[in-house]
Chains A and B, each alone.
Chain A
Amino acid sequence: AQTVTQSQPEMSVQEAETVTLSCTYDTSENNYYLFWYKQPPSRQMILVIRQEAYKQQNATENRFSVNFQKAAKSFSLKISDSQLGDTAMYFCAFMKSSGNTPLVFGKGTRLSVIA
């Protein structure tokens, strides 16, 4: 069974600064997908970024980028130029590559962006 671990329950960052959220996972699969979801106070789950394990290039989406280390089973999220609207819970999630299989989530990291 796959497991996802987010070791930082809470983090804070000054506005305009950069912050990195950690995620490690355990799997025996060779091909899979990794995700970061954002959950603001509205509780809506919003997809931030997606990484395919067979791609060596790290995914980026505007101010969000990942550092994917397959051998170390690590998948961290970097938020650059943090904004107040980035304040949210962030969840790391894993999906096997056999096609629309259920997600396995970490317990989340609560990020506060401070003005």
Chain B
Amino acid sequence: DAGITQSPRHKVTETGTPVTLRCHQTENHRYMYWYRQDPGHGLRLIHYSYGVKDTDKGEVSDGYSVSRSKTEDFLLTLESATSSQTSVYFCAIGRGLETQYFGPGTRLLVL
């Protein structure tokens, strides 16, 4: 979707290093989400935000933190990356009435 970008798109890092993923939207939507996708699990919610500085935890939030200091950006931080956090990370926005649209994803490999 042209209104949502994620950066970086690919990243390789080492165990124990901090990593920050960025989700940027150009449409001023209030709701933003971070999901991770792993084989055999579908997509699972990590954290979400319902406004600037308003966030809540999801199903798989351990080891992750988020921040939203302005409407257009939602940051996901792995404080100390582990191999179990190797995954594909998707950001989504809540647009209109109860519908979510997704960014292109970030593939993260933790060695």
Which residues in A have some Cβ–Cβ distance to B below 8 Å? 4, 33, 35, 37, 43-45, 47, 50, 91, 93, 95, 97, 99-108
In the bound complex, do residue B98 and residue A43 qualify as a contact, i.e. CB atoms below 8 Å apart? Answer: no
User: Could you tell me if B104 and A103 are in contact, using CB atoms closer than 8 angstroms?
Assistant: no
By a CB distance below 8 angstroms, the chain B residues around A104 are 45
Q: Which of B31, B42, B104 contacts A44 (CB 8 A)?
A: B104
Enumerate chain B residues within 8 angstroms of A43, measured Cβ to Cβ: 88, 104-105
Given known A-B contacts A105-B44, A108-B42, A99 and B105 have beta carbons under 8 A apart: no
Number of interface residues of B (CB under 8 A): 24
Q: A-B pairs with CB below 8 Å: how many?
A: 54
For residue B74, CB closer than 8 A to chain A, the reply is no
CA distance A105 to B58 in the complex (A): 13
- Least CB separation from B29: chain A residue: A100
Q: Per a CB cutoff under 8 Å, which of A101, A102, A107 touches B42?
A: A107
Known: A102-B45, A103-B92. 17 other contacts (CB 8 A): A4-B42, A33-B98, A44-B102, A45-B43, A45-B90, A47-B100, A91-B42, A93-B43, A97-B98, A99-B98, A100-B31, A102-B33, A102-B48, A103-B33, A103-B35, A103-B45, A104-B45
Given A100-B50, A100-B94, A105-B43, does the pair A50, B99 have CB atoms closer than 8 Å?
yes
Interface of B is mostly: strand
As a 0/1 sequence over residues 39 to 55 of chain B, the CB contacts with chain A under 8 angstroms (1 = contact) are 01111110010100000
- The residue on A at minimum CB distance from B93 is A100
Chain B, residue nearest A33 (CB): B98
Question: Could you list 30 A-B pairs, sorted by A, with CB under 8 Å?
Answer: A33-B99, A43-B104, A43-B105, A44-B102, A44-B104, A45-B43, A45-B90, A45-B102, A45-B105, A47-B99, A47-B100, A47-B101, A93-B43, A95-B98, A95-B100, A99-B98, A100-B50, A100-B94, A100-B98, A100-B100, A101-B98, A102-B45, A102-B48, A102-B58, A103-B35, A103-B100, A104-B45, A105-B42, A106-B42, A107-B41
Residues of chain A within 8 A (CB-CB) of B94 are: 100
